[in-house]
Amino acid sequence: MSEATITIRAEETQGTISPYLHGHFAEHLGRCCYDGVWVGTDSPIPNKGGFRTDILDALREVGVPILRWPGGCFADTYHWKDGIGAPEKRPRTLAESCGLRVLEDNALGTHEFLALCREIGAEPYLAGNVGSGSPQELAEWIEYCNTSLPTTLAQQRAANGHPDPMTVKYWGVGNENWGCGGNYAPEDYAKEYRRFATFARMADPTTQLIACGHNNRDWNLKVVETLRNNLGLLDHLSVHQYYKAGSGTDFDEEEHYRLMRAGDLIDEGIAFTDEILRFFTAGRKKVKIAFDEWGAWHPEAVGGCGYEMPCTQRDAVSGAGVLDVFHRWADSLSMTNIAQIVNVLQAPIQTQGDKMWLTPTYYLFLLYKPHRGAEAVRVEVESAARDTQELDFLKPGSLPMVSATASRKEGRLTVSVSNRHAQEPCEVTLNLHGDAFREGTLHTLAADAPNAYNSAEQPNRVGVTRTTLNASGTTLTLTVPPCAVVTAEV
Ligand code: AHR
């Protein structure tokens, strides 16, 4: 058994953990939307307005603070007018999904997506089309959704069932425009952004506009530098990062730890982006980072299989480290969105026919739910560390065997601890400064092996157990199983 000590400085708060730091992403890609969360109103699978009721229930339970849609790369091919009006009259268009040409029948459009958000209590975040769209198209989408004036588009919205404005606040101006979103050079994208954002702002000055950033320093530098005198148009910069190490289910010990380290390295992309934003905004405006795609992307998740992969306990434990990083950067991040909400990549929910199951990543978000809206407090972790070797983009470095985050809200302290060790449990001593423990609940997400996952055949192989904590005083000792995450609510 290894040992670790975590000092929690309850009196040293580090900013509010916005619920949006636990956001999600739904793209028209593979079986995320169609044959995922959406089955259509004619489906024999129980649904509400076309959305699977079992998924709606699971999403309500875990909570989806913000949901990004319709892409992803799909966003820069999407023409929103194709997805409104009578479904049978909507155009049937050619779409690209996971490297394949597929038919998009536009059954899931703006009204349906916003109905989903209302059902699950999510803030909508719509990603606009820069690559193959126009400033006017984006401005009209905003007008259609948000105007309270009786314009022709607003009347069309009313005729389509929504007389009141739909008040969509968050708008992405393109997606990955350095790649699938048009292969722009950074300066060219920034100039396009300025044009699109000017007319988006005119359509609704209250929108929050999100520019396309990168996990590449040079892109962010050039985009933000070009926009430095147009800060009125820039509210957030989007960054994406995926990571892998070995296959999703077949990995050796070194690869096990590399995945954790790859997740921890998300910190670097945030750090340099934050530095660039601070430099070019120099106290004039707080432009935040929207980390709106992240997660494990294993080699099994390839085009032909719809970017689907088993989502293991290892993925959830590496994800815990990433959420800990996000909490530490609570002041600089406006949102984060794991990719993707159903079936695709590191999905919290997976389906096969009428079967639906929850992955360890779903349970990770459930364990972290009490942190939402809470004040992050400083934690100091002392644990064994392991050297990880260089691989692709992954720099060699030291991986702490334990990661943690803590927050307080309404007299309650929540501490989440992950033990990254593949085989050994860890005895973790929590030392609390500035308060005392009282009794509470311990939630444990553990599995029989790091590569364990849930499936149609074994939907409950990995899950959460809950026990009562009889705590008092300023010290609490927990035994965290190998490759596991615990949350103590005390
Ligand atoms: O999430 C899958 C894809 O990954 C998205 O469409 C794109 O934005 C990213 O490259």
Summarize the confidence of residues 191-204 as an average pLDDT: 98
The confidence score (pLDDT) of residue 391 equals 66
| Residues counted in the chain | 490
pLDDT band per the 50, 70, 90 thresholds, residue 305: confident
The confidence score (pLDDT) of residue 177 equals 98
- pTM, whole model, 2 decimals? 0.97
Phi and psi torsions of 150, nearest 5°: -80, 55
Whether pLDDT at 233 is above 80: yes
pLDDT band per the 50, 70, 90 thresholds, residue 97: confident
pLDDT band per the 50, 70, 90 thresholds, residue 389: confident
Instruction: Report the SS3 class of residue 450.
Output: coil
Angstrom distance (rounded) from CA 79 to CA 166: 18
pLDDT over 70 percentage in the chain: 99
Please tell me the chain's helix, strand, coil percentages from 3-state DSSP, rounded to the nearest 5. 30, 30, 40
HSE-up (13 A, CA, CB side) for residue 413: 28
- How many other C-beta atoms can be found within 10 angstroms of the C-beta atom of residue 75? 27
The confidence score (pLDDT) of residue 442 equals 96
Q: For residue 52, give every residue at least 6 positions away whose Cβ sits within 8 Å of its Cβ, in sequence order, or none.
A: 37, 38, 39, 45, 46, 351, 356
Can you tell me which atom of ligand 1 is nearest the CA of 179?
Answer: 10
The confidence score (pLDDT) of residue 388 equals 81
Whether pLDDT at 344 is above 90: yes
Phi and psi torsions of 425, nearest 5°: -70, 165
Instruction: Find the DSSP H helices in 160-209.
Output: 186-203
Task: Pick the range with the lowest mean pLDDT from 11-15, 203-207, 239-243, 368-372.
Answer: 11-15
Q: Whose CA is nearest to atom 7 of ligand 1?
A: 72
User: In whole angstroms, how far apart are CA 305 and each of 97, 235, 344?
Assistant: 11, 36, 10
pLDDT over 90 percentage in the chain: 91
Whether pLDDT at 356 is above 80: yes
Task: Pick the range with the lowest mean pLDDT from 6-10, 224-228, 284-288, 395-399.
Answer: 395-399
Taking every pair of Cα atoms in the chain, the longest distance, rounded to a whole number of angstroms, is 68
Interval 69-82: pLDDT, tens: 999 999 999 999 99
Can you read off the two tokens belonging to residue 185? 């050079």
Interval 107-128: pLDDT, tens: 999 999 999 999 999 999 999 9
Whether pLDDT at 392 is above 70: no
Summarize the confidence of residues 299-313 as an average pLDDT: 92
Can you tell me which atom of ligand 1 is nearest the CA of 242?
Answer: 4
HSE-up (13 A, CA, CB side) for residue 446: 20
Residue 325's nearest CA partner among 241, 218, 209 is 241
Q: How far is the CA of 478 from the centre of ligand 1 (A)?
A: 38
Can you tell me which atom of ligand 1 is nearest the CA of 175?
Answer: 8
pLDDT band per the 50, 70, 90 thresholds, residue 489: very high
- The response to whether residue 174 sits with its C-beta less than 6 Å from ligand 1 reads no
Summarize the confidence of residues 85-94 as an average pLDDT: 96
Q: Whose CA is nearest to atom 9 of ligand 1?
A: 72
Angstrom distance (rounded) from CA 330 to CA 309: 30
- The response to whether residue 176 sits with its C-beta less than 6 Å from ligand 1 reads yes
Phi and psi torsions of 95, nearest 5°: -125, 165
The confidence score (pLDDT) of residue 283 equals 87
Interval 17-59: pLDDT, tens: 999 999 999 999 999 999 999 999 999 999 999 999 999 999 9
Q: Quick one: which H or E segment has residue 90?
A: none
Beta bridge partners of 136: none
Helices 186-203 and 135-146: crossing angle in degrees, nearest 10, is 30
Contact (Cβ atoms closer than 8 angstroms) between residue 233 and residue 198: yes
DSSP code string of 50-76: TEEHHHHHHHHHH--SEEEES-SGGGG
Q: How far is the CA of 100 from the centre of ligand 1 (A)?
A: 14
Q: Whose CA is nearest to atom 8 of ligand 1?
A: 72
- How many other C-beta atoms can be found within 10 angstroms of the C-beta atom of residue 115? 17
The confidence score (pLDDT) of residue 393 equals 63
Regarding beta strands 2-16 and 426-433, do their DSSP bridges make them parallel or antiparallel, or are they unpaired? Answer: parallel
- The response to whether residue 71 sits with its C-beta less than 6 Å from ligand 1 reads yes
Can you tell me which atom of ligand 1 is nearest the CA of 345?
Answer: 1
Helices (H) and strands (E) in the chain, counts: 10, 25
Task: Pick the range with the lowest mean pLDDT from 279-293, 358-372, 378-392, 408-422.
Answer: 378-392
Q: How far is the CA of 73 from the centre of ligand 1 (A)?
A: 6
pLDDT band per the 50, 70, 90 thresholds, residue 397: confident
The confidence score (pLDDT) of residue 37 equals 98
Summarize the confidence of residues 202-213 as an average pLDDT: 98
Whether pLDDT at 394 is above 80: no
Angstrom distance (rounded) from CA 186 to CA 190: 6
Interval 437-469: pLDDT, tens: 888 999 999 999 999 999 999 999 999 999 999
Burial class, 110, CB count within 10 angstroms (exposed 0-12 / middle 13-18 / buried 19+)? buried
The confidence score (pLDDT) of residue 99 equals 81
451: which DSSP letter? T
- The response to whether residue 293 sits with its C-beta less than 6 Å from ligand 1 reads yes
Task: Give buried/exposed letters for 16-27 (b at 16+ CB in 10 A, else e).
Answer: bbbbbbbbbbbb
Interval 470-481: pLDDT, tens: 888 899 999 999
In 71-190 the beta strands, taken as DSSP E runs, fall at 93-97, 100-104, 123-128, 170-173
Contact (Cβ atoms closer than 8 angstroms) between residue 428 and residue 288: no
The mean predicted confidence, pLDDT, of the chain is: 96
Angstrom distance (rounded) from CA 364 to CA 451: 15
Task: Pick the range with the lowest mean pLDDT from 10-19, 92-101, 229-238.
Answer: 92-101
15 torsion bin: left (phi>0), alpha (psi -120 to 50), beta (else): left
The confidence score (pLDDT) of residue 20 equals 98
Can you read off the two tokens belonging to residue 205? 């000055």
Whether pLDDT at 261 is above 90: yes
User: In whole angstroms, how far apart are CA 357 and each of 40, 54, 148, 454?
Assistant: 19, 9, 41, 7
Catalytic residues: 176, 293
Q: How far is the CA of 369 from the centre of ligand 1 (A)?
A: 25
Task: Give buried/exposed letters for 232-249 (b at 16+ CB in 10 A, else e).
Answer: ebbbbbbbbbbbbbbebb
Angstrom distance (rounded) from CA 111 to CA 83: 8
Angstrom distance (rounded) from CA 270 to CA 289: 8
- How many other C-beta atoms can be found within 10 angstroms of the C-beta atom of residue 98? 18
Q: How far is the CA of 103 from the centre of ligand 1 (A)?
A: 19
Interval 56-71: pLDDT, tens: 999 999 999 999 999 9
